[in-house]
Structure 1
């Protein structure tokens, strides 16, 4: 398995032309193909290189402005593109967050050396894999979550059978009522933390963690998130008060989806702990960003957070789905060739952002307020457009998906393009 541009493009890859079969990504890129010249089949998923670079730099700048006690471990599940994993690590990320065993294995195959599994680790085969990696690679730094004594006992039982001299590092996970995993009370957190400490030297308590993002779409989102982060802080101080971090050089406090990481920094930075602490942010969607779902969160973040304004935090949508105009069946309506098999719509429908006349390779911006998707099918999207729109069959339309996570996983290959829409690389995804 390879994660550089010498991988070969399979013949059946969506978005690749028939003549690309068997070429390496580097050989394909060397041809200088323009996405808008008609040489590639549509729909096609592209990432804009300039936007990726801007977004990566912007988040790195925010973390630097936040101070040396804030670290970034972006969520790799967003893209599952190892080349982008390394872009994030090379621009200052402390490590990478992942959500399940498959993702961990992809990251390890790509030589990612520090991983936070932001989930419970309970399957024996998966625990054994982590233990094998810890024994094989002395540079591998691994963390996972636990929210129950049973879960801790499972980790400890497998670890005692293993020859590795290094422990599995564990965060006690704090949850949300009616939410996902995580303890619901400080007392339960202390009980789980004690179980981790008692399992030394096979396990080590690294800190506490949680995820506030499931509250972000609530009408009372900001207040609920503040309440949750207060609880996360109480879990940390409760475990500290019970002496559970007595042997730790630093206590790690981890949270931060892609919308409220400013609140995580503000509320967890000055907890009264007996040991120094560091905050580990796990946001992931900043790299691709969007024109809808996350863009409004960043607008709100800039409004409320002076740190973000000082860091000049701004992102640019990098992910686009290019489609063909298939039909103009009635006034004020066009149908394009991309649908739910090509983009995610779990948060919001994509924004309609660009238009390229057939025969041209220079796109125009569209007024997103007056070009809106009104229906989505498996392979089609229906767009309401203004009277006199002048869109023609065969023209090309770019869509900007909201919540990029559920668009990346619909593509095995994504074309990296420059500002002129010339393909500079083909990135493989590993979902």
Structure 2
């Protein structure tokens, strides 16, 4: 594939393998033979020339390019290191593009995802989760001993002990909130875990992390971030010269920038790290409503970069179209797909019920999607199209 036609400049910093497409690639129509993804992309197929079948998930090149640049500029403007969450896409080409745009690290949620990024050659990884599996911890510690930069989160003395027994790693103590997932619930809890980390053989205390993305009110977000700052101050004597302070889902990164930016810890350098990941493709639903750029439009804008094309299979009742797209194909956990006309009111494994549509049997409908984090994992290969519906790249995902 010509470099000027690729969706992203393929970063030399990580490996972006050239996989083979064949009959197993959902959405691609290849009943015979096989073809490398880059060769397929170089052929410049149209989405509608018979090279694909329906349903089909598509990534828009222009939207992804713009979103990556927007988030890189936001982080730079506010003095943040950017460590976007790789779990959204787990697609080497998109991860490479984010690193090319200046990402300081990439974030993952599991040891398996960390393994993928290690094999791809990503130089610095944050695991934004607790890791208690001794097998995984021993591997992580061994890789760190070889020079790989990896940080894990801890929220208990038991977690610190597990890291230490496995050989030791750099750790971030996690602050949580009532009703949330992991993380110490109080500043006192942070102090206790940080003290254990400072004393545990092989463990290096690097800072404090939090996740505010599940909160629904500004006041609650601000309170959590204020508690994070308080936690850092409370353990300042245990922290190294450079302190990592990490936060940032894709719904409140404006509040994170307001609370954590700057050099506010005397005697230390604060490296504030933003982890927002869904922004790379954004969406037409959940994040369209919740992106901080709706509150602070002067800071930028994100463009929906995911589309689903599906065919009307039946119109058995007036005003009802049955479309060949279901829960196996499109995200539904944070809202159903959004057609240009009508409304998806129900989904089965392979069917969607669209009310209020005038589409005829055989028509292909474009749908916007809600929640990109549960879209990519349903597709092994995803075409990337330009604004003329010409395929310019093929993503492959590693879930």
Fold match (TM-score > 0.5): yes
Aligned counterpart for 1:83 among listed residues 71, 93, 96:
93
* Equivalent position to 2:257, from 265, 287, 312: 265
RMSD: 1.7
**Range 171-180 or range 27-36, more displaced:** 27-36
Contact 1:66 1:265 in 2 (8 A): yes
Q: What secondary structure sits across from 1:34 in the alignment?
A: coil
Q: Distance in 2 between matches of 1:98 and 1:192?
A: 22
Show the counterpart of 1:314: 301
- Aligned match of 1:426: 394
Alignment partner, residue 25 of structure 1: 37
Find the aligned partners of 1:232 and 1:335 in 2 and give their Cα distance.
49
Gap change, CA 1:212 and 1:12, over 3 Å in 2: same
Shift in Å, 1:249: 2.1
- Secondary structure at the counterpart of residue 35 of structure 1: coil
SS of the residue corresponding to residue 389 of structure 2 reads: coil
Deviations 1:307-351 (A, max 9, x none): x61x4x111111111111112222222121111110111111111
Which residue of 293, 296, 310 corresponds with 1:302?
293
**Where does the alignment leave 5 or more consecutive residues of structure 1 unmatched?**
160-166, 353-365
Q: Distance in 2 between matches of 1:3 and 1:321?
A: 28
Provide the rounded CA distance (Å) in 2 between the counterparts of 1:154 and 1:5: 34
Are the equivalent residues in 1 in contact too, given 2:16–2:120 (CA < 8 A)?
no
Q: Is the Cα–Cα contact under 8 Å of residues 245 and 272 in structure 2 kept in the other structure?
A: yes
Match of 1:52 in 2: 64
Residue 192 of structure 1 corresponds to 193
- 1:406 deviates by 0.7
**Equivalent residue in structure 2 for 1:278, among 267, 271, 288:** 271
> Could you state the TM-score of these two structures normalised by the residue count of structure 2?
0.92
User: 1:181 maps to which residue?
Assistant: 182
SS of 1:37's equivalent? coil
Q: Does 1:71 align with 2:58?
A: no
Q: Name the residue aligned to 1:382.
A: 353
Q: Which of residues 92, 95, 108 in structure 2 aligns to 1:98? A: 108
What corresponds to 2:4 in structure 1? none
The aligned residue for residue 211 of structure 1 is 211
Say whether the 8 Å CA contact 1:5–1:426 is kept in structure 2. Answer: no
Residue 48 of structure 2 corresponds to: 36
- Give the TM-score of the pair, scaled to structure 1: 0.86
Work out the CA distance in 2 between the residues paired with 1:328 and 1:39: 26
2:378 corresponding residue in structure 1: 410
2:218 to 205, 222, 241: 222
Q: Find the partner of 2:322 among 299, 315, 335.
A: 335
Instruction: Work out the number of aligned pairs and report it.
Output: 385
Mapped partners of 1:186, 1:157: distance in 2: 26
Structure 1: which 4+ aligned runs deviate by more than 6 Å? none
**Partner residue in 2 for 1:361:** none
* Corresponding residue number in structure 2 for 1:244: 238
Displacement of 1:303: 5.2
